[in-house]
Amino acid sequence: MSGFTIRRAARSFALSLVAAAAFALCQGEARADEVYIAGHTNGCFATPPATCQPVNNPAPQSTTLLGLTYSNSTFQGVTANGFLAFGGNPVASPGQNLNNLGAFFLDPTVPATYNGNSFRLRITFTAPQGLGDPSRLFTADIIGTVRSDESGGVRIDFSNTINHEGILFTFNDTNCEPNPLPGHAPPGQQVTCGSGSFRVRVNDLSINPGQLASLTGDIFAAQQTTIPEPATLLLLGTGLTGVAARVRRRRRARERS
């Protein structure tokens, strides 16, 4: 084999490596896949300047201030076009809510004034993994009055930042676990493998005596750049191995000649 042929084969091999690297990079950068979200909520009441720290536990939990009781929730879902909503189907204590941010019940038999008290909501994300801070705190003021004649109510007023801009979370989940919700992920997309970000909003809540209401919110602007799937990397590796073997065979044949 001529030196020119060897050089051409080596150049083809190098170009193959560059193309493979570019392909893998594009696989990681060009795909803004949907994101699997899972976690739980907890909450607590306080009277400023005193503060409270919610527990961090997915088990059923409730907390009460006078006649207002909060019960926690667990949630999971896959975003669609970067969006995932939580809300509805409130469950009162001692039950636990599902796929909302918890629920409040206002007892009409306990007239009370709630001005000056606060409620702190903790949302803990268990997926995606690799969050910089797995338990961000969201705080809100409870405003309003509950009267015994049932003409009053309570409003939980979250900050405008949380309501409109949301709180930004970034993640780098390299575990690449199987999607726990079969059929929810778009075809050809992974939902638990990559780096990305999402924003969280919590909506204000108003409730009248005797009512049970869920705390709602949503995930928006969710995106991730997916790590190439193992099968893709294996295919690339197999192809490159074949190219390298071909170059070695030609080199040995030239040395024998």
Give the bridge partners for 218, in sequence order: 85, 201
Question: Do 55 and 114 sit in the same domain of this protein?
Answer: yes
Paired tokens of 44:
């607590």
Average pLDDT over residues 27-56: 82
> Which residues neighbour 200 within 8 Å (Cβ) at sequence distance 6 or greater?
123, 136, 162, 166, 167, 169, 217, 218, 219
pLDDT of res. 21 = 45
How far apart, in Å, are the Cα atoms of 82 and each of 32, 34, 181?
A: 9, 6, 17
β-sheet bridge partners, residue 84: 219
**Which residues form the domain of 18?**
3-27+232-256
Specify the number of domains making up the chain.
Answer: 2
10 pLDDT above the threshold of 70: no
In tens, the pLDDT along 191-233 reads 778 899 999 999 999 999 999 999 999 999 999 887 665 544 4
| Higher-scoring residue by pLDDT: 111, 71 | 71
Residue 94 in this model has a pLDDT that exceeds 90: yes
Coil vs helix vs strand at 157: strand
Q: Are residues 139 and 59 in the same domain?
A: yes
pLDDT (average), residues 91-114: 94
Query: pLDDT confidence of 120, banded at 50, 70, 90?
Result: very high
Report residue 22's pLDDT band, with 50, 70 and 90 as the boundaries. very low
140 vs 197: which has the higher pLDDT: 197
For residue 161, pLDDT over 80 is answered with no
Which residue, chain included where needed, has tokens 């993994």? 129
Of the ranges 11-15, 163-167, 249-253, which one carries the lowest mean pLDDT score? Answer: 11-15
> What pTM value is reported for the model?
0.76
Closest CA to 123 of 104, 132, 133, 136: 136
Kindly state whether residues 215 and 98 are assigned to the same domain: yes
The answer to whether residues 151 and 247 belong to one domain is no
CA–CA distances in Å: residue 109 to residues 17, 33, 150? 74, 50, 9
Mean local confidence (pLDDT), 63-68: 94
pLDDT (0 to 100) of residue 171: 92
DSSP at 153: -
How high is the pLDDT of residue 211? 95
Q: Are 190 and 90 in the same domain?
A: yes
Q: Degrees (nearest 5) of the Cα angle 244, 245, 247?
A: 65
Please state, in angstroms and rounded to a whole number, the distance separating the CA atoms of residues 19 and 236: 10
Size of the chain, expressed as the number of residues it contains? 257
Q: Residue 1 and residue 28: Cα distance in Å, rounded?
A: 39
For the segment 172-188, what is each residue's pLDDT rounded down to a tens digit? 988 887 777 766 666 66
Same-domain pairing of 247 and 204: no
Average pLDDT, the chain: 79
The pLDDT > 90 percentage for the chain reads 46
Query: Can you read off the two tokens belonging to residue 133?
Result: 């801070």
Residue 224's alpha-carbon distances to 35, 85, 185, 212, 256, in angstroms, are 7, 18, 13, 36, 53
Residues 93 and 202 placed together within one structural domain of the fold = yes
252 and 201 in a common domain: no
19-33, 59-73, 119-133, 161-175 — most confident range: 59-73
What single-letter DSSP state applies at residue 231? H
Do 13 and 65 lie in one domain? The reply is no
Separation CA 44–CA 33 (nearest Å): 35
38 shares a domain with 18? no
Residues 99 and 197 in one domain: yes
Q: What is the pLDDT of residue 45?
A: 95
Verify that 20 and 99 share a domain, yes or no: no
Q: Do 198 and 37 meet the contact criterion of CB atoms below 8 Å apart?
A: yes
**What are the residues whose beta carbons fall under 8 Å from the beta carbon of 87, sequence distance 6 or more?**
100, 101, 203, 214, 215, 216, 217, 218
Q: Which of 193, 200, 225, 226 is nearest to 215 (CA)?
A: 200
Top mean-pLDDT range of 4-18, 70-84, 148-162, 215-229:
70-84
